[in-house]
Amino acid sequence: MCIDVCRAYADPIPPLSSLDASYSGLLVLGGSMDADSDDAHPWLAVTRERIAQAAEAGIPTLGICLGHQLAAMALGGTVERSPFGLTVGVHQVTWEPEVLFDPLMRLLAGDDRALHWHRDVVGELPEGAVKLAGSIDGQVQAARFAPTVWGVQFHPEVDAAAVAVWANESVDELEQIGRSVDDVVATATFAENELIKTWQPLAFGFARLVRERAAAVAPGGTRGGVIPTPRPWSA
């Protein structure tokens, strides 16, 4: 599987025609800006547009943290400031029963921990969206926003080295919530192996959906060019 990286703040975002013809999946990662700060970051609006277009085209899409929030907004949901302020560290994620039938996250149906670094959260879900996981305070931690669009508020992709970079760039913010660089990094380091084991199935599952779509739309594909709708799990 080949991956093209588009730094939306610096690189041209591919048009839908290119996305649909050249790519079989869309992964939207995080960032420190607010999901609706379009004036300062015009590429946010374009990213939301691409997510909506990918949903319409049936392209498997996964949003992480900011990407999760952008996906919610793109499809009609809302994003708001968390009443609990900045959330940093390794915290519990509790899966909803609906996850057992989800084509991407069905193998994650347990009480798991995840790495968090955010101050905004999804407020209202888009119409037809399914909440797949939440936190103890009721915030949406994972959702299926459309048949081929998912989002997670936490960071399954981040290791302790990345956390160290973020922490050293956020000393004042951490002090405001009673945390230090050392304790945040230590927590991430201690949990790193656990988090890798927990979230690898998410990466593998998304890669599977991307490959299925690639096979469906390839010339001479075994599915005759019909784009598959991810199938729900059945025992």
Catalytic member of 96, 116, 155, 212: 155
Comparing CA positions, the residue from 195, 194, 214, 218 lying closest to residue 206 is: 214
Distance CA 133, CA 113 (A): 11
Residue 146 phi, psi dihedral angles, 5° rounding: -155, 170
| Number of residues written out for the chain | 235
Catalytic member of 56, 98, 157, 192: 157
68 is catalytic: no
Q: DSSP character for 229?
A: P
Query: Who contacts 127 (Cβ-Cβ below 8 Å, separation ≥6)?
Result: 76
91 is catalytic: no
How many beta carbons lie within 10 A of that of residue 170, not counting itself?
18
Look up residue 39 and give its amino acid.
D
Rounded to 5°, the CA angle 230-126-209 comes to 20
169 is catalytic: no
Catalytic member of 65, 116, 118, 212: 65
Distance CA 157, CA 117 (A): 12
Comparing CA positions, the residue from 134, 182, 135 lying closest to residue 160 is: 182
Look up residue 146 and give its amino acid.
A
Positions marked active-site:
65, 155, 157
